[in-house]
Chains A and B, each alone.
Chain A
Amino acid sequence: MRDESITRSAVLRVEGVTRVFRTGTVEVHALRGVDLALHEGEMMVLLGASGSGKSTLLNILGGLDQPTQGRVFFRDQDLTRVSDTRLTAFRRDHVGFVFQFYNLVPSLTARENVALVTEIAKNPMSPEEALERAGLAHRMDHFPAELSGGEQQRVAIARAIAKRPELLLCDEPTGALDSKTGIKVLEALDEVNRDLGTATILITHNADIQRIAERVVVLADGKVVRDEPNPERIAPSEVSW
């Protein structure tokens, strides 16, 4: 257990979380007892080999999935084994997601993709403002098919931040991008984290990206094997790909 003062300022916290996937007779232990806390305004990078359980952990943190064992807290609320309705409300009100393959709705323009979220959020910014923050003000009325990969990812970021979430959970947001566009996306995330104070978790393969984080957590085989602050946080533009 951690120090009291840290616990209190934790936005999101998991205790002893395990997750077992059963497919037929095969059991996969994706997470084997993870304790982790994310603090207000923190920028955390989550590293680990493919299959180490990063996405599984992120999904549980974001209320997309439930742990097999262990507990999940959002501030003072216990999210462990709550109803689907409660989890949906949690995601709706507090979490922004960014995925590797953008997951935009192809039949909606950039602006409309963002509006999809602002329409159901409590205190959203306008889709225009969100897109501006993501650096995409000039392509608001384009359909996803008319945008490059980096631009699509920035629409996804705009969509994630438009509701002013407390949590921004990004699963390999640069995984499908080249270095130049990757850096632009990281810059957008970094800016949101600094300007809006959104606590952010960023999953990546690229070890160099950890240098933009305040804190680096490494997963291996479903367990946290390293969890330490990064004293020399650099700007995304300095990341070497």
Chain B
Amino acid sequence: MRALDRKLLRDLRLIWAQALAIALVLACGIMLMVAAQGTQRSLEQTRAAYYERFRFADVFAQATRAPRALLPEIAAIDGVALAEGRIAFHAVLDIAGMEEPATARVVSLPAEGGAILNLPLLRTGRMPDPVRPEEVLINEPFGEAHDLVPGSSFRGIFDGQLRELTVTGWALSPEFIYTMAPGTFMPDDRRFGLIWMNEAAAASAKGMDGAMNDVALTLTRGADERAVIDALDRLLDPYGGTGAFGRDRQESHAFLDSELEQLAGLALFMPPVFLIVAAFLVNMVLGRLIGIERPQIGLMRAVGYTRAEVAVHYLKLAALIGVMGLVLGWGAGWWLRNGMLALYGDFFRFPFVLRDFNIAAVVISAVLGLAAVLLGAMRAVLAALRLPPAEAMSPPAPPVFTRGWLDRLIYGLRLRQTSMMILRSILRWPARAAITLFGVSASIAVLVASYFFFDAMEVMTDSVFGQGNRQQVTLTLNQAQTLSVLDDALALPGVRKVEGAYAVPVRLVNGHRDRLSALQGHFAGAELSRLMDDERGAVALPAEGLVLPALLARALDVGPGDRLRVELLAAPREVLDLPVAAVIHQSLGQEAHIGAPALFSALRLAPQVNQIHLLVDTDAMSALHAQIKRTPAVASLTDWSEVRRQFDESLGENLLTMVAIYTVIGVLIAIGVVYNAARIQLAERSHELASLRVMGFTRGEVGFVLVGEMMLLSLLAVPIGWFLGGWFAAGMIEAVSTDVVQIPLLISRRTYAAAAAVVVLASLVAALMVRRRLDRVELATALKARQ
């Protein structure tokens, strides 16, 4: 090995702790980049393969009742490859050992030749025998939740008729990777299941012989999806078609897309912060090293090493630190990716997970990581190159102490000498102090931008559950009924208060933009289910016009005053032209809202309800459940306390994991920055500090000079970090917001306080780590060190 490279390794060994601290900061960025990107790509490929193998359809449509004879016509649409007609509906289930009713989506299995699209993947058991109407497949998670092994049975209520069903097997389906009961926000494997049933049995249950109400089709390569959808809509329109849609509007697919989009956003947003901090740290440490090695640089130049050789020498050191960070980051990223893939794989129940090894991510992260450290090193190295060889040989001139206005100000403060030393040192090396300030505030910002998700979630849950949905139970009716049904509901066991609502699927159209959504009609004086704005609380419905959540308004490109074409996709299937009255902010809102009087006067109908919200005596809950299982008019029951529990559980768990990871990351940055700054201060000032000891200052007092400076900088960094944090949080929201979820930017004091406390504590620990070395400095050698 060349002598110069030996020097490099020994230099590195001398500053190993500092180098490691920088490498760890860099590794955090690389880890996030590689893990988020790797997870996203792997999931995307997994999903694509899953879709491919189990023939996930491209276009979907529902109708009230269409003749099967329409199917050849559908298949003949230009651009359609395969078309399949099914019978699909929601049903209430009565499961042994479960008090409340469960809900299921029932889909029919085509009679001959089995399904050709959206194939169920049999996990255990066998397919139902086509001649046995009671045999069904259920989805694996539902089966697991209830231990409904093949051979066991349960009861379903189809149009008021109780049917005994026998499980023949468990299945998964690319169509239902992410699936939720109607009106809920989270998958719930216990309360919501999927049932695949023989076509004949489904037809007889719904009185749909020779008919279908659900169409799925695949497109030929290069087909125009829009045109196919229009053609399909035209064909289904006479049969109560509710509007065909592509994968982008298919619930399961859209939610997965949203997840993947968030991962991609995460891969882009945070890592640059770490790279920048790492670059600054390299600059600080290398600047100091080059400062110490001035005579050695002069010597190298004197004996004939070229500038390029000297530059490469120090750049190599930075690159070594970079490589350390890359290797650590890749390792951690690999590990995190596998962990995330395992989590996602379980959550989505992928039957297999493809682990994508993406060489591009490795190369890109290597390029970015190395670029960061090398750019960081550049300034210090350029300074080294500017040293004329003759001058580099003489010791550097002592730092110039000028007495500026700041000094006079400090004098005016009449501080103790040790405090004075702290302030002086900050003024003497302002660049170093600035880097420390920036690094510490960046770590506070990272924490603010991750902790605030708790605030956002609180706002969201409060808006959805606390304020918006104060009912305990919502009943969804099979058909809209007049308001007198509310009296029937009041007669149900334990019911103390009832409130009606009306919801209908709609297509909202503005020019060439359109969205499938639901129109929610609100009755005046509603107290249980209210329309909420995340920022302004309960919203009073205007006498006229629509209220849209901002996401929906943006998608349709409309604002207050604009008009929207509203196509009702279920009875009474009218087309309305309504003004947009207001836009509100909702994190999870995807629905359009309107006052019931405005809606029914536009429809020229007497007011109707198809949802009933209830307040119920908790004691009477089981009696209510039992009654509902026997009430054919009710399509499903939603227990809001359960929905909330699920929501909290699932989101809370994810958030805790995320916050734990980001806390580690934030703490690593703070420690990396403060440890390095303190080590450099210690090295630079060991003479000065030792002199203090010689003069009779105690260890504590001398330690104060070192720790005090770091803590002063850390405290100064707090407000900057808060400010940056708000900015990062906005960036995070931008990065992870999707069509489905919009996160509100509200940061609580608790978040600010927690972020500051964690980071200041981490800084203190780092400063104390260095302070321990101060105790070990031998006075005599420290004093001798500087001739």
Contacts and interface: CB of A to CB of B under 8 A. Distances in A.
Interface stretch (B21-29, B297-305, B732-740): B297-305
B296 interface: yes
Interface string A77-94: 000000011001101110
A97 B302 CA distance: 7
Contacts of B388: 64-65
A62 B299 CA distance: 13
Interface stretch (A108-116, A192-200, A222-230): A108-116
Contact of A113 (B3, B302, B390): B3
Contact of B11 (A62, A107, A121): A107
Nearest to A103: B299
B393 A99 contact: yes
A89 B305 CA distance: 8
Given A88-B306, A92-B304, A105 B296 contact: yes
A93 B3 contact: no
B481 to A, nearest CB: 88
Given A64-B390, A107-B7, A108-B7, A117 B302 contact: no
Given A88-B301, A107-B10, A64 B3 contact: no
Interface in B465-495: none
B513 interface: no
Interface in B368-389: 388-389
Q: Which of A95, A113, A116 has the most CB of B within 10 A?
A: A116
Interface in B287-317: 295-296, 298-307
A112 B6 contact: yes
Contacts of A65: 388-390
A120 B305 contact: yes
B14 interface: yes
A93 B304 contact: yes
A65 B296 CA distance: 17
B306 A85 contact: yes
A215 B306 CA distance: 33
B4 interface: yes
Interface in B1-17: 2-4, 6-7, 10-11, 14
A159 interface: yes
A63 B7 CA distance: 25
A129 interface: no
Contacts of A97: 302-303
Contact of B3 (A88, A89, A108, A121): A108
Nearest to A120: B304
A138 B6 CA distance: 21
Interface string B390-418: 10010000000000000000000000000
Contact of B303 (A89, A101, A112, A159): A159
Contacts of B11: 107
Interface in A144-194: 159
Nearest to A112: B3
A103 B3 contact: no
B14 A107 contact: yes
Given A107-B14, A108-B3, A92 B296 contact: no
A57 B615 CA distance: 99
A131 B769 CA distance: 42
Contact of A59 (B4, B6, B390): B390
Given A112-B6, A116-B303, A120-B305, A103 B298 contact: yes
A64 B299 contact: no
A91 B304 contact: yes
B382 to A, nearest CB: 15
B205 to A, nearest CB: 84
A119 interface: yes
Contacts of B300: 116
A12 B295 CA distance: 26
B3 A84 contact: no
Contact of B307 (A84, A89, A106, A159): A84
Contacts of B305: 88, 92, 120
Nearest to A101: B295
Contacts of A113: 3
A26 B471 CA distance: 87
A140 B121 CA distance: 74
A192 B302 CA distance: 20
A105 B393 contact: no
Q: Which of B7, B299, B300 has the most CB of A within 10 A?
A: B299
Nearest to B2: A119
Nearest to A169: B302
Contacts of A105: 3, 7, 296, 299
Given A59-B390, A88-B304, A93-B304, A108 B6 contact: yes
Contacts of B3: 105, 108, 112-113, 115-116, 119
A16 to B, nearest CB: 20
A97 to B, nearest CB: 5
B7 A103 contact: no
B292 to A, nearest CB: 10
Contacts of B303: 91-92, 96-97, 116-117, 120, 159
Given A107-B11, A108-B3, A89 B304 contact: yes
A180 to B, nearest CB: 22
Contacts of A106: 296
Contacts of B4: 116, 119
A96 B305 CA distance: 13
B387 to A, nearest CB: 12
Contacts of A95: 304
Nearest to B293: A105
Contacts of B306: 85, 88
A56 B514 CA distance: 82
A180 B390 CA distance: 29
Contacts of B7: 105, 107-108, 112, 116
B192 to A, nearest CB: 67
A117 B305 CA distance: 9
Contacts of A96: 303
Interface string A202-221: 00000000000000000000
Nearest to B304: A92
A91 B2 contact: no
Contacts of B304: 88-89, 91-93, 95, 117, 120-121
Q: Which of B3, B10, B299, B390 has the most CB of A within 10 A?
A: B3
A64 B302 contact: yes
A129 to B, nearest CB: 16
A114 to B, nearest CB: 8
Contacts of B14: 107
Contacts of B298: 103
B683 to A, nearest CB: 14
A88 B305 CA distance: 7
12 contacts: A64-B388, A64-B389, A88-B301, A88-B307, A96-B303, A101-B295, A105-B3, A105-B7, A106-B296, A108-B10, A112-B7, A116-B300
Interface of A: 59, 62, 64-65, 84-85, 88-89, 91-93, 95-97, 99, 101, 103-108, 112-113, 115-117, 119-121, 159
Shortest Cβ-Cβ A-B pairs, 3 listed: A92-B304, A107-B10, A64-B390
Interface of B: 2-4, 6-7, 10-11, 14, 295-296, 298-307, 388-390, 393
Given A65-B389, A108-B7, 15 more contacts: A59-B390, A64-B390, A84-B307, A88-B305, A91-B304, A103-B302, A104-B299, A105-B296, A107-B6, A113-B3, A115-B2, A116-B4, A116-B300, A116-B303, A120-B303
